[in-house]
Amino acid sequence: MQSVNQSPRAGERVVLIHRQHSPHLSLCECTYTCER
């Protein structure tokens, strides 16, 4: 039950990191890229 502190979705965390590296990408684009 230690996942409570972490994001509910692993992808969500990846998207946040991805957006930091690629702020020009939109959230939808980022999520699509990370999901793939």
Give mean pLDDT in consecutive 10-residue pieces for the chain, a chain of 36 residues: 49 59 58 55
pTM over 0.85: no
List all residues 6 or more positions away from 22 whose beta carbon is below 8 Å from its beta carbon.
30
Q: What is the pLDDT of residue 26?
A: 59
What separation in angstroms does the CA of 34 have from each of 2, 8, 23, 26? 24, 16, 14, 12
Q: Using the 8-state DSSP alphabet, how is residue 5 labeled?
A: T
